[in-house]
Structure 1
Amino acid sequence: MLAKTLQAAGAFALAVLVPAAPAAAMQTLAFTGGTVVDGTGAPGRVADVVTEDGRIVFVGALDESGLTPDRVIAADGLVVAPGFIDPHTHALADLAADDAERRRSDNILFQGVTTVLVGNDGGGEPGIAGLAEDLQARGIGPNAGFLVGLGPIRTAVIGEENRTATADELARMEAMLAGGMCEGAIGFSTGLHYTPQNFAPLDEVVALATVAAERGGLYDSHIRDESSYSQGLLASIDEAITVGERSGAPVHIAHIKALGPDVWGQSEAVIARVAAARANGLRVTADQYPWRASGTRLTNALVPRWALDGGHDGLIARLDDPAVRPRLVAEMHDNLRRRAGADALLLTRPLRGADPALAGHTLADIAGQRDEDPVETAIAIIRSGGYRVASFVMDGADIEAFAGQDWVMTASDGSTGHPRRFATFPKAYRDLVVDGGMMPLERFVRRSTGLTADTFGLAGRGYLREGLVADIVVFDPHTFAPRASYAAPEELSEGVRYLLVNGVLAIENGATTGALAGQPVLRDTSHIDLCEE
């Protein structure tokens, strides 16, 4: 198989098509006098950067280049870096919206991010070509790459039933995934904590990951358990590694964490497992957001997976069944303990008509006001439509331990109602570089650019290098910071002075230009024999 052959040779690369630059990028533009941090991890240096026709054409001393730019922008005192790349987002709803302002995605651009991946947590539809064509035609702010997810594939073939796929059903799922991979998807994603994906056994996941690997893709996973809900954090890390070993796919662990007091302190054991797999030749990486609170739905936080067989209707039926309800309520109490209690669950956004007045209050607050048990309060909220929650379940020592690994990169996992959607990259910068002093600026840029481009095969991006795409962020190292908070999660970040997407100014003098210069980023599969069948 192609992926195993490349892995055996110690190299795995995803060749990605670089789209033509928009017409607005045709001018020659120079940033002069800034500190260039190029994405390799090398020390920053004062240099000039020149772009033309959407490409970087020169890095060095402008007066030695022989070039005469159409426009020169002084960047003295500013950092000039590759545009940041966010490998884990839930940005597709905005990118595909009718509203051009939503498609522009200022929440992403003002973090210095020029490229996002969508379809994470197993949510990506397999129809990649049509999706890319639509986004291209309508115009988007950042560039977008695509993952094909287990969720839509399994739901289309099996529905929401808790059972193993038949041989015929597995073959149909494999064909759907193969189609998406051959249309340019970067890899196969799973969200094994979520139903109905949670119902997929290891062998099914391996079979599908093999399809992706044979067509040059990686395996990206929200692992089955980040806590102690089912098989536990360490067993779930082992499962992800096993998928890579058996399928031949590089493994990427989404939003790596130790979720809840049951597993606090297990970061070192996770790191040891990943280090051992990497030492044995398996490509294993992870991404991380810098927030102590995760973001999910109240149902996902508290309801056991078995109770979601049949979806929301199945859950309500079990809540109404006097023979089943006591077990379900007891397990929800245990899951609330895993989530560090009702004080640690902050309701952020109503779903399907739930009371918007509950937003901004903890589950403990609401239960106290109602003078009832927190689990009964949660059940009432779920019945009314549900809620997104910020779940304060991470320990600072684990966050720092993962952040210190050279195979961990920055990602937002941006979701509505959580400040990570607007402020992850500047918060990581403040936490890791400015306030925490965990790493130099160059390493932060590396984990936000070149490392991500290398991991996901985003050829032509992630570095400030002549000939590459002109995705560039210019930010003030003193003012680059988040403004969003849990109380006000939709505040734009500050400190990005200029942002180029495919050579087009998307931010100028700290303000949006309104440009929709992003492009779909598709893998070139023309060299893959299995995509010619």
Structure 2
Amino acid sequence: MKVALLLGIAAFSLGAAAPAPRKVDLLIRGGTIYTGSAEPFVGDVAILGDRIVSVSRHADITATRVIDAKGMIVAPGFIDPHTHMGGELTSDDPAKRLVPAFLMQGVTTAFIGNDGGGSPDVAAVLGSAASKPVGINYAAYVGFGAVREKVVGEADRVPTDAELGQMKALVAKAMCEGALGLSTGLFYAPQSFAKTGEVVALAREAGTRGGVYDSHIRDESSYTVGLAAAIDEAIAIGKGGGLPAHISHIKALGVDVQGQAPAIIAKVEAARRRGQKVTADQYPWSASGTSLVASLMPLWAQDGGRPALLKRFDDAGLAQKLRAGITENLRKRGGADKLLIVEGKYGNRTLADVAKALGQDPVTAAITVIRIADPGVVSFNQSEADIAKFMAMPWVMTGSDASGGHPRVYGSFARKYAKYTKAEKVITLRQFIERSSSLTADTFGLQGRGHLRAGAFADLVVFDPAQYAARATYEAPTLLAQGVRSVVVNGVVAVDGGVMTGKAAGRALAHAPTVGTCR
């Protein structure tokens, strides 16, 4: 792709593997190797430059450096398909761009621009890595929300034909600049104001160019259409747009829908049997993370954005309707004690605690807090039974939905291993590794990533199966994971002996659009 070449971006391609040389730069010796597609075995991984040159039971070659991996697990670098780490990856701060929270879990690639927030200027997003080196690889979505807001604004209305044409052109341009696909966050205003047909029209622009439709669905609970109908819509958008559909952080959120995992799984499985490509990702936590406004404010109150919302707070004629809507949404979330505010003046306190401290009822307290700002919240609203049922599905991959104030940024992959793989045995070790690496790479077309094999890019993790675990908690969400011994990104050692090396070897990964669809 011409843009990718001009920006020096690494395309999703893999050349033919050459015969293994007699001397290599790095040899990872004696670990238990999970290749991403085969039963594990004890052996060696040889790396020359940015590529793996051999994966074998014994490599009869010499190396400039040997890492002793005896007793360790050697796996493909993990790939996170849903994050909110764009700010870190494009930061002016080199330390933030290393993304230690990810490297110390073995995550070597992340997707950004999820939930409809991805900038339409994908060339700039991907091009940033050329002047601001990054610690991990990243790919980017173009966001439906960003596109709609740019053209339509924050109003609850249908776009004109001309506006729809402008939005389609923005998506097409972004795809030609290397976007992975179109992401949506249909739960969030103003995206929630869009009808299905509008989303299909934009998804088709991504599908024509070989992209994926990734969606935080319209309702994960019972806010509007309900969880089941929202899943149906995501599947329908994928079909109508002629592209794979990916459901972000699949879950059954809130008291009204807990226990619905089997029914939701049945819907996805039925679509897959019909030949449609439908997948999902999941973070291994019972608490979700969003904002206080998104959790509690009725959608009608968000029409026009924050300025309009604040005016409605002062409209006596709307007070009863507004309080009724907030009360109902609070019920769905399980009550004020289930919402932990993680930012701002009232950070690290539940809404119930804030209400008590202010001498207010929870609804009034929520309005008081939102008048100051819209803080992030951690919402305890999922059942462990639903989490386990979704996790067991072979089309559900590991993701973090990494966003501030939640331990999922620092611990999702490590927690999934320690809690759900090692302790509770919801999935096997091989399943954990493959659903954290090769499944993601293969689903999204990251050729040369997600597998340990000759010719692949040298992204890999070495971790101690006895020690690998999350340390981050809801009370202390920024503790780095433990148990990772080495991480290699594009052939460069980024974590050595459990310590960051400070080397920024990540690359921006531009998706190559379907041939003939871009000028």
Say whether the fold is shared (TM-score over 0.5). yes
Structure-to-structure mapping, 1:300-311, within 5 angstroms: 300-311=294-305
Alignment correspondent of 2:308: 314
Q: 1:333 aligns with which of 320, 327, 335?
A: 327
SS of 1:69's partner is: strand
The separation in 2 between residues aligned to 1:98 and 1:523, in whole angstroms, is: 25
Q: Number of residues paired by the alignment?
A: 502
User: Which shows bigger deviation, 419-428 or 516-525?
Assistant: 516-525
Alignment correspondent of 1:23: none
SS of 2:259's partner is: coil
SS of 1:481's partner is: coil
Q: 1:51 aligns with which of 47, 52, 60?
A: 47
Alignment correspondent of 2:517: 530
TM-score (norm 2): 0.95
SS of 1:49's partner is: strand
1:37 and 2:37 correspond: no
Structure-to-structure mapping, 1:69-218, within 5 angstroms: 69-218=63-212
Structure-to-structure mapping, 1:109-508, within 5 angstroms: 109-350=103-344, 355=345, 358-508=346-496
1:230-264 deviation digits (Å, cap 9, x = unpaired): 00000000000110111111000000000001001
1:435-492 deviation digits (Å, cap 9, x = unpaired): 1111221110010000000111111000001100000100000100001101100011
The separation in 2 between residues aligned to 1:80 and 1:323, in whole angstroms, is: 63
Read off the aligned partner of 2:353 and give its amino acid letter.
D
Q: 1:62 aligns with which of 37, 53, 58?
A: 58
Q: How far is 1:17 from its partner?
A: 4.3
Alignment correspondent of 1:3: none
The separation in 2 between residues aligned to 1:126 and 1:18, in whole angstroms, is: 27
SS of 1:177's partner is: helix
The separation in 2 between residues aligned to 1:115 and 1:263, in whole angstroms, is: 33
Q: How far is 1:61 from its partner?
A: 3.4
Q: How far is 1:524 from its partner?
A: 2.1
Work out whether residues 17 and 521 of structure 1, in 8 Å CA contact, stay in contact via their aligned partners in 2: no
Work out whether residues 17 and 522 of structure 1, in 8 Å CA contact, stay in contact via their aligned partners in 2: no
TM-score (norm 1): 0.93
Alignment correspondent of 1:9: none
Distance 1:524 1:160, change over 3 A: same
The separation in 1 between residues aligned to 2:305 and 2:219, in whole angstroms, is: 19
Work out whether residues 252 and 286 of structure 1, in 8 Å CA contact, stay in contact via their aligned partners in 2: yes
The separation in 1 between residues aligned to 2:511 and 2:349, in whole angstroms, is: 44
Alignment correspondent of 1:7: none
Work out whether residues 419 and 486 of structure 1, in 8 Å CA contact, stay in contact via their aligned partners in 2: yes
The separation in 2 between residues aligned to 1:82 and 1:462, in whole angstroms, is: 5
Read off the aligned partner of 1:457 and give its amino acid letter.
G
The separation in 2 between residues aligned to 1:207 and 1:399, in whole angstroms, is: 33
Q: How far is 1:18 from its partner?
A: 6.5
Q: How far is 1:130 from its partner?
A: 2.0
Q: 2:497 aligns with which of 479, 491, 509?
A: 509
1:58-117 deviation digits (Å, cap 9, x = unpaired): 111334x4x221111110000000000000000010111111001111011111100000
The separation in 2 between residues aligned to 1:386 and 1:276, in whole angstroms, is: 39
User: Which shows bigger deviation, 429-438 or 264-273?
Assistant: 429-438
Work out whether residues 391 and 427 of structure 2, in 8 Å CA contact, stay in contact via their aligned partners in 1: no
Q: How far is 1:27 from its partner?
A: 5.9
Q: How far is 1:136 from its partner?
A: 2.3
SS of 2:79's partner is: strand
Work out whether residues 467 and 482 of structure 2, in 8 Å CA contact, stay in contact via their aligned partners in 1: yes
Q: How far is 1:371 from its partner?
A: 2.4
Read off the aligned partner of 1:531 and give its amino acid letter.
C
Work out whether residues 14 and 456 of structure 2, in 8 Å CA contact, stay in contact via their aligned partners in 1: no
The separation in 1 between residues aligned to 2:320 and 2:154, in whole angstroms, is: 24
Q: How far is 1:142 from its partner?
A: 0.6
Work out whether residues 18 and 521 of structure 1, in 8 Å CA contact, stay in contact via their aligned partners in 2: no
The separation in 2 between residues aligned to 1:272 and 1:17, in whole angstroms, is: 35
User: Which shows bigger deviation, 382-391 or 252-261?
Assistant: 382-391
Identify unmatched segments of 5+ residues in structure 1: 1-14, 20-25
Alignment correspondent of 1:4: none
Read off the aligned partner of 1:110 and give its amino acid letter.
M
SS of 1:386's partner is: coil
Read off the aligned partner of 1:529 and give its amino acid letter.
G
Q: What's the C-alpha RMSD, in Å, of the aligned pairs? A: 1.3
1:357-400 deviation digits (Å, cap 9, x = unpaired): x2111111111222221010000000011211100000111101
The separation in 2 between residues aligned to 1:512 and 1:18, in whole angstroms, is: 28
Report sequence identity in percent.
Answer: 49
Read off the aligned partner of 1:331 and give its amino acid letter.
G
1:337-366 deviation digits (Å, cap 9, x = unpaired): 00000010011112xxxx2xx211111111
The separation in 2 between residues aligned to 1:337 and 1:512, in whole angstroms, is: 44
Distance 1:127 1:18, change over 3 A: farther
Read off the aligned partner of 1:34 and give its amino acid letter.
G
The separation in 2 between residues aligned to 1:38 and 1:361, in whole angstroms, is: 44
SS of 2:340's partner is: strand
Q: How far is 1:503 from its partner?
A: 0.5
